[in-house]
Every structure is written in structure tokens, then in C-alpha cells.
Amino acid sequence: MSGAGSAKVEVMWFLVVAMLVILVVAGVVVLYVAFPHRGEDVPHMPWLGRLLRKGVDNVPTLDNTGDEPQPESDSSLTHDLTSLGHVRPEGGRRRA
């Protein structure tokens, strides 16, 4: 194999391994949300549910239940789509 060919193979293997890691992480997230997050045991693998709960308990998180008031939404940022001045022609149908 030439140097360029082996470089392409190395890049391909890197992409394959990266995609497998991404799929495994996504699967673990879906598994956590589907079972331990709702307080249920993972079927056929209760040890995995305990491991996920333990890991999540040890991860630092932001406290969103503080006593500080929530910021008010700025009404100037919202748009009323009915006031854009686009009126349909007589009869309410679009022209072809």
C-alpha cells in the first residue's frame, strides 16, 4: 500500500471508532433517560441502572431550584405574525 492509501485507511478507522463511541454514548443516555431517570430498574441489568444512578449523583450539576427570581421575558423580542401586513386576496385562497 502506498503512503496516501494507508493514511486514508487510518482516517477511515478513526471515523469508524469515533462513530461507534458516539453510538455507545447515545445508547447509554437513552437507556438512562428511559429507566433510572424515571426511577425504574433497567430490565435484565439492574447493576447498570445502579451504576448510572451512582455516576449521575457524583456529577456536579447546576442548581435550578434556587430562590432567585427567574428573569422576565422581553416582550420586544417576540413577534406577532398576524401584524406583518400580509393579507390574502378576496376569498381567502392563494392565487395559482
Structure-block grid coordinates of residue 4: 496516501
Q: Classify residue 36 by burial, with Cβ atoms within 10 Å: 0-12, 13-18, 19+.
A: buried
Instruction: Give residue 17's pLDDT band: very low, low, confident or very high (50, 70, 90).
Output: very high
45 falls within a domain: yes
Q: Give the closest residue to 36 by CA, choosing from 19, 57, 12, 60.
A: 57
**Count: domains in the chain:** 1
State pTM to two decimals: 0.51
33 falls within a domain: yes
Mean pLDDT calculated for residue range 8-18 = 93
95 falls within a domain: no
Residue percentage of the chain with pLDDT more than 90: 17
For 28, the domain range is 23-59
38 falls within a domain: yes
> Letter for the amino acid at 10?
E
40 falls within a domain: yes
Distance CA 61, CA 52 (A): 15
Instruction: Give residue 12's pLDDT band: very low, low, confident or very high (50, 70, 90).
Output: very high
